[in-house]
């Protein structure tokens, strides 16, 4: 059992998202708990979430958008991703408006991809799927073509992408698993795709060695603890996905879990980096808050893997 100092440090965060996720994901407090409810309300009242939403335009896009994808990383797609990571309430009308904008803006392109058998950009479509499901849109008919596309793209070429010289893409595969993991109900085809994706990420290649097919050297971000990431992936993010799929007991995950455990400092914390600090919305850029983000994620993963445990009783008010 870890000392309460680490949990208290997380709960001392200025960011209500970290406080809320610590209470629910690490301490396993129920949503009905008063402290959880208070933190959840605060997410929409203080910190980066209301600041990001304040820049939303009337049509559900974001002010200054050249497209839903540009500029990186402040246009509609990236803003919705960040709101998802920050645990913003998906039922909020502004997030619902953002989802409608994104699904409308991308529907024709996805249908064309399906009709033409196009592959690539799985990271884009998987991220849209993830935040759409988190906004309770799993039953939206516009998501089914995205799901079909991702199942095919993961199964036929492990998310081969022209940005990776048409080789299988570990970032794309990790992001696709991220999107499919969010689905509340998974069809047999989705389950088969997930198994193929886990085999690719954990059996055919190795997380800690970053030996996936690549036209260049592995990204230097791969073995750092980054927050936030967008279409990219690293070891920590991939382990988050594996945890969401309840697959941390997979033998191929063990070396990465042990690697993550070795990065824990004597005070029980982890050191994080924010590689896109100057290109996205502010509010989470402080080094200590980034450390809290990656520390929370690492702790949740290692607890789920049975490698650490934390006191589920907190004096947080």
What percentage of the chain exceeds 70 in pLDDT? 97
Q: How far is CA 174 from the centre of its chain?
A: 10
Residue 263 CA: distances (Å) to CA of 3, 10, 252, 256, 266:
18, 17, 19, 11, 10
Q: Residue 34: pLDDT above 80? A: yes
For 56-75, the pLDDT digits (tens) are 999 999 999 999 999 999 99
CA distance 218 to 214: 7
What is the rounded distance in angstroms from the CA atom of residue 82 to the CA atom of residue 127?
10
Tell me the torsion sign for CA atoms 281, 170, 120, 156.
negative
45-55 average pLDDT score: 97
Examine the pLDDT at 237 and tell me if it is beyond 90. Answer: yes
* Dist CA 298 CA 115 (whole Å): 41
Instruction: Give the E-state strand segments of the chain in sequence order.
Output: none
E strand or H helix at 18: helix 16-21
Mean pLDDT within 259-281: 96
CA dist 174 and 176 (Å) reads 5
- Model confidence at 285, pLDDT cuts 50, 70, 90, reads confident
pLDDT at 44 over 80: yes
138-176: pLDDT as tens digits: 999 999 999 999 999 999 899 999 999 999 999 999 999
Q: Can you give the pLDDT at residue 113?
A: 86
Q: Note the pLDDT of residue 116.
A: 86
Tell me the domains of the chain and their CATH numbers: 4-304 (1.50.10)
Percent of the chain with pLDDT over 90: 89
Provide mean pLDDT across the span 171-196. 98
pLDDT computed for residue 312 by the predictor = 56
Give the pLDDT band (50/70/90) at residue 101.
very high
Least confident of 197-206, 267-276, 303-312: 303-312
Check: CB of residue 312 under 8 Å from CB of residue 33: no
Residue range 203-217: mean pLDDT, rounded: 95
């Amino acid at each position: 059992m870890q000392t309460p100092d680490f949990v208290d440090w997380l709960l001392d965060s200025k960011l209500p998202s970290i406080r809320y996720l610590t209470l629910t994901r690490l301490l396993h407090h129920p949503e009905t708990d008063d402290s959880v409810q208070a933190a959840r309300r605060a997410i929409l009242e203080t910190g980066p979430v209301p600041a990001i939403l304040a820049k939303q335009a009337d049509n559900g896009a974001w002010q200054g958008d050249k497209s839903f994808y540009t500029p990186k990383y402040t246009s509609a797609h990236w803003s919705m991703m960040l709101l998802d990571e920050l645990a913003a309430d998906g039922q909020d009308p502004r997030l619902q408006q953002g989802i409608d904008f994104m699904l409308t803006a991308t529907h024709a392109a996805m249908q064309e991809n399906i009709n033409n058998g196009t592959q690539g950009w799985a990271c884009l479509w998987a991220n849209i799927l993830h935040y759409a499901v988190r906004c309770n849109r799993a039953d939206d008919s516009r998501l089914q073509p995205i799901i079909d596309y991702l199942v095919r793209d993961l199964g036929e070429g492990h998310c081969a992408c022209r940005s990776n010289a048409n080789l299988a893409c570990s970032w794309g595969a990790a992001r696709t698993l991220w999107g499919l993991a969010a689905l509340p109900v998974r069809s047999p085809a989705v389950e088969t795709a997930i198994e193929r994706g886990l085999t690719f990420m954990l059996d055919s290649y190795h997380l800690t060695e970053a030996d996936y097919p690549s036209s260049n050297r592995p990204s230097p971000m791969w073995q750092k603890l980054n927050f936030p990431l967008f279409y990219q992936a690293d070891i920590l993010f991939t382990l988050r996905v594996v945890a969401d799929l309840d697959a941390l007991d997979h033998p191929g995950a063990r070396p990465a879990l042990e690697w993550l455990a070795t990065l824990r400092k004597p005070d029980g914390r982890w050191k994080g980096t924010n590689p896109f600090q100057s290109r996205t919305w502010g509010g989470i850029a402080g080094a200590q808050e980034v450390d809290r983000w990656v520390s929370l994620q690492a702790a949740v993963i290692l607890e789920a893997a049975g490698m650490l445990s934390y006191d589920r009783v907190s004096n947080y008010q």
